[in-house]
Amino acid sequence: MISNNETKNEDPVFTKLRHFLQNFQEIFFDENIKNNKKSSILCASRRTRLEDQISSITGNKLSKSFTLNMCINYWAQAILFEPTLSQFCAAIHYDDIFMIHFGVIQCRRVFVDAFHEHRQIPDFDVKFSSRLIELLDQKEYPRLQLEAAWTLVSITSGNHEQALTLVEQGVIPKFIRLLEVKSELIQEQVFFGLLNLAHDCVEFRDEILLLGGLSSIIRVAENITNRNLLKMIARTIRSVCRRGPLPRDDDARSAIPALCKIIKTQQDPEILIETLWALVYLICSEKTREAVILVEVIPTLVSLLKHETKRILIPSLRCLGSIAQGEEIDSKIFMQVPEFLHIFFNLLHHQSQNVRMEACWILTNLTVNNTENIESLLGTEGFLERLINLIEVNQELGVVYEAGYLVGNIIAKCQAESL
């Protein structure tokens, strides 16, 4: 160790470097195991060896380790000067783990800063991105895994050519496998990466689905309570499912229970909005409609129609509409929900044109060739008057069109005494 007397005569460069090393000693270990006694001893031992070697250099005793000398030079430059990205990129190709940590962390800062400041993501060498993807596989240094993933995610937010380089080097299967790591910090970065790639183009989205990305995301969702992570999961599923072709029925059906569980248990508006839209895109066949009915989420969707946030009301209506248009669906499950008719009665005069149109569309689907449901509607006091008024006073063609279909169903199927 360097004594106080020795420190007084120490070269200022190495004084700054030594303090810098002390402040960043956590890069050697995962934050989750800092309290582990063995790890703490090892961490202190490594810092001691580094300080001893720095001390020997200040006493003009050159270290035999070329890598260590290079490492010290890089850290000194990071403190005193403005190093270039190419210097940081070069650092990750050394065999010394300290050097690699340094290079990856500094590169991550450059790319993330560019993203947050809305600047163009810097160009990079394919060897650099290949090395970052390779570092995702190592498990000895979880912090290094996180930093490598974080850097790659910031690159996925760049232009299509940069994202394509990563995809061609196999980043998608590496991201999907990384979801198995028991670290919410790493999982959050992976979700960001998959979200960016799914947004970039249909081909990337299709590869995520083909490699089982949706199933892997759902497995994580089943055991997560973290609010931010749940929001990211819902956003990622929504992004992965929103473009055609739609996911396979088996993948969609496996995702529905987890999404419906979030809808039933969450009160956070942002999580609900993302999850509801994800569910909208998954209800795409008779099998997926059946899966939604089996988890008994319809009463929850109906209750959400009373939510004061329009951004929750619209996807809730879309989910119910997608279920109601199923040819093999027993429409009684809607009518049996308490307040269903009362809520829809009020929606017919909602201030939003889209809400009025969606409400008419759902009621139209529920009354096709169904006398019992028609009688339930007519049994609601003032319903027929409100429906006729909706046609008379509305100038929006979409609302009049859907309301007209509903009136047509009533006229065609209701009993004479009901009229």
Residue 161 and residue 144: Cα distance in Å, rounded? 26
Q: Which residues contact 80 (CB under 8 A, 6 or more apart)?
A: 13, 16
The pair of structure tokens assigned to 401 is: 């069109």
Give the residue-averaged pLDDT of 93-105.
80
Query: Cα–Cα distances in Å, from 294 out to 148, 256, 265, 286, 288?
Result: 41, 10, 17, 12, 10
Residue 43 and residue 338: Cα distance in Å, rounded? 62
Domain assignment present for residue 316? The answer is: no
Pair 217, 193: CB distance under 8 Å? no
Domain with 379, as residue range(s), is: 345-419
Q: Where are the alpha helices (DSSP H) in 211-282?
A: 213-221, 227-241, 249-265, 269-282
Domain assignment present for residue 360? The answer is: yes
Q: What is the pLDDT of residue 46?
A: 53
Better-scored residue on pLDDT, 242 or 290: 290
Q: What is the pLDDT of residue 83?
A: 57
Domain assignment present for residue 349? The answer is: yes
**pLDDT tens across 242-272, in order?**
866 778 888 888 889 989 999 998 888 988 9
Domain assignment present for residue 57? The answer is: no
Q: Of 73-87, 128-142, 357-371, 385-399, which has the strongest mean pLDDT?
A: 128-142
Q: Which of 311, 392, 314, 305 is nearest to 341 (CA)?
A: 305
Q: Which of 140, 27, 136, 8 is nearest to 78 (CA)?
A: 27
Domain assignment present for residue 122? The answer is: no
Please confirm whether the linkage preceding 245 is cis (ω < 30° from 0).
Answer: yes
In three-state secondary structure terms, 185 is helix
Max CA pair span of the chain? 107
Spell out a b/e string for 308-318, using b for 16 or more CB atoms within 10 Å of the CB, else e: eeeebbbbbbb
Q: What is the pLDDT of residue 71?
A: 53
Q: What is the pLDDT of residue 32?
A: 41
- Average pLDDT of the chain is 79
**pLDDT tens across 37-69, in order?**
444 444 555 555 555 554 544 443 333 343 444
CA atoms within 13 A on the CB side of 156: 30
The pair of structure tokens assigned to 118 is: 């809305």
**pLDDT tens across 222-248, in order?**
888 888 898 899 889 888 888 667 788
Q: Check whether 72 has a pLDDT greater than 70.
A: no
Residue 50 and residue 121: Cα distance in Å, rounded? 34
Domain assignment present for residue 382? The answer is: yes
Q: What is the pLDDT of residue 389?
A: 82
Number of independent structural domains in the chain: 1
- What is the DSSP secondary structure assignment for residue 96, as one 8-state letter? -
Check which CATH number belongs to the domain holding 356 and give it: 1.25.10.10
Which residue, chain included where needed, has tokens 């979880």? 142
Better-scored residue on pLDDT, 206 or 26: 206
Q: What is the pLDDT of residue 82?
A: 53
Q: Nearest-5° angle of CA 24, CA 30, CA 32?
A: 120
Q: Check whether 289 has a pLDDT greater than 70.
A: yes
Q: Print the SS3 string covering 106-151.
A: HHHHHHHHHHHCCCCCCCCCHHHHHHHHHHCCCCCCHHHHHHHHHH
Percent share of the chain, pLDDT over 90: 27
Domain assignment present for residue 47? The answer is: no
Domain assignment present for residue 277? The answer is: no
Burial of 237 (0-12, 13-18, 19+ CB in 10 A): buried
**pLDDT tens across 298-355, in order?**
999 999 998 888 899 999 999 999 898 877 677 888 988 988 988 998 898 888 888 9
